[in-house]
Each structure stands twice: as structure tokens, then as C-alpha cells.
Amino acid sequence: MNAKTARLPGCLFVFVISTLLAMNSGCATTAPGRGIFPARLWGANEPSVDNATATAQWCWNMAERMERDGDDRQALFLYQQARSLAPEAYDYAGRLCRLHDRLDEDQAALHEYQSAIARRPNDADLLNDLGMFHQRRDRWAEAEPWFRKALQAAPDHDRAAINLAISLGMQDRTADSFEVFARVVGPAAAYSNVGMLLQRQGRSDLARDHLEHALRLDPSLQPARHALAGLNGPPPIDQHLPAFESVQQVSYPAPSP
């Protein structure tokens, strides 16, 4: 992390400093060049083990607050500081992987995902998120096995199933994609979803066939109607619906309060 990304906002910096002085502890190790707080902040003595643990907890709690507030960069920084003080106290990799992912720091994200999965190999949410890491970067074949592992760990994990269906469809495995979609959302929505994937790939005729079939099965499917209108002409300006509305992809849960 460079000096620019490590810098806290002014108001938080003042709060951190005042808190550290009150606690006689801090969110950084005393090794030269690590963290934003200089070693001399500790005075003549390094923090005790108890103080380091307490400060790591403070950093962790503050990081959770930052993450809930959407400040991923500062949350990342504070989790890293907590790890430097108490490396075994928390599941750091499980938090850092998602933060690095959202910040598009691919190598760091992948490293932390691998570390987190080594500790929790049957965590379906984590396996699904690693699949999404690849899927958001259009690495469909690399995403697929992680969704399958998530479903092995939790067969009823609908998000992983939907994401698997997307990865299959984007690999031109339309029949497999439809089968997985149908198990989760039913045949009509499955035709709609596959149609939208085909539309995304520029396969307009096949997309139209799937979307029309979806509407024959369920005329109330607005995502299919909107996608079909897009194939047949510009959509009405007052009816812009998000792409893949009926496809529920993963969202990152906020830390529990």
C-alpha cells in the first residue's frame, strides 16, 4: 500500500490519533516503514501483548464500521493494521479478499481468497464469491468450478446455481445453462435468462426465440419483454430495466453490527 492509499481522512485521522494517545496503543506495528503511525508514538516502550490485542480489536471494529459505510479503502487499511498486531485473532482473509476484489486489486484478492478457502473449504458463500471474482472478469470457465464447489457444499445455494447457469451460458453451453436456471427459477424465467445471455453474445435470432418462448409461458415476465423490445427496436425511454434483472448474482453482505 502506498502513502496515498494509506492516508486516512482528516477528521478520522484526528480521531485515531486522539484515541491512540488515550489508549497508549495504535493501529500499526512498531517496525520502521509499516503503517502510518511512527514508532515514536509508543514512547519509550513498545505496546504490550494485551495492548496490541486490544488495539487490533479496535481496528477490526472500526474497519467493520468503514465497510458498512462503503469506505472500502479505509476498511482494508484498518483490517491490515489489525492483522499486523494480532495475526490469528480474526478471519482477516475472509474480509480482505472481498475488499481487494471490489477495489479491483486482482492479485491481492486472489491470494486472500485462496487463504480464506484454505481455512474454510466448505464455505459455500466464499466459494461462490471466488467464482464471481472470475465471472466479473469474464473468465467463465475459471468461474464454473467454484460455483460447482459451492453447490457441493450447499446444494440449495440459489445464488451459486444462478451464477453457474450464467457461466455455462457464456461458454455457449445453452442447454446446460437452461437446465440449471430452470431448477432455480422455473422454465419461463429460465428461457428469459438464457435469451438475455444470448442477446449479450450478439446471437439475436436465438435470443429472440428464447424470449418469445418465455413470454408465451409467462406473459408477465417484464425482463423478457424489455429484452425483446431491445432486439426489435430501442426500448421506451421510461422503461429502462437493469440487464439480467431476473438473474440474482452475488452481493457482498455487510458485516454484522
Does 127 lie in the same domain as 108?
A: no
User: With contact defined as beta carbons under 8 Å apart, do 71 and 42 qualify?
Assistant: no
Does 221 lie in the same domain as 130?
A: yes
Instruction: Please name the residue that has the C-alpha cell 480464506.
Output: 116
CATH, residue 233:
1.25.40.10
Domain assignment of residue 211, given as a range: 122-250
Residue ending a domain, choose from 120, 138, 153: 120
Q: What is the pLDDT along the chain (257 residues), one digit of tens a residue?
A: 444 433 334 333 333 323 333 433 334 332 333 343 333 333 444 455 568 889 999 999 999 999 999 999 999 999 999 999 999 999 999 999 999 999 999 999 999 999 999 999 999 999 999 999 999 999 999 999 999 999 999 999 999 999 999 999 999 999 999 999 999 999 999 999 999 999 999 999 999 999 999 999 999 999 999 999 988 875 444 444 334 444 434 333 444 44
Does 116 lie in the same domain as 209?
A: no
Residue 119 C-alpha cell reads as: 481455512
Rounded distance between C-alpha atoms, residue 28 and residue 20, angstroms: 10
pTM of the entire structure? 0.70
Does 113 lie in the same domain as 201?
A: no
From first CA to last CA, the distance across the chain in angstroms is 27
Residue ending a domain, choose from 120, 145, 167: 120
Evaluate whether residue 94 is within a structural domain. yes
Rounded distance between C-alpha atoms, residue 1 and residue 239, angstroms: 43
The count of structural domains within the chain is 2
Does 190 lie in the same domain as 97?
A: no
Rounded distance between C-alpha atoms, residue 129 and residue 157, angstroms: 12
Evaluate whether residue 47 is within a structural domain. no
Residue ending a domain, choose from 71, 91, 120: 120
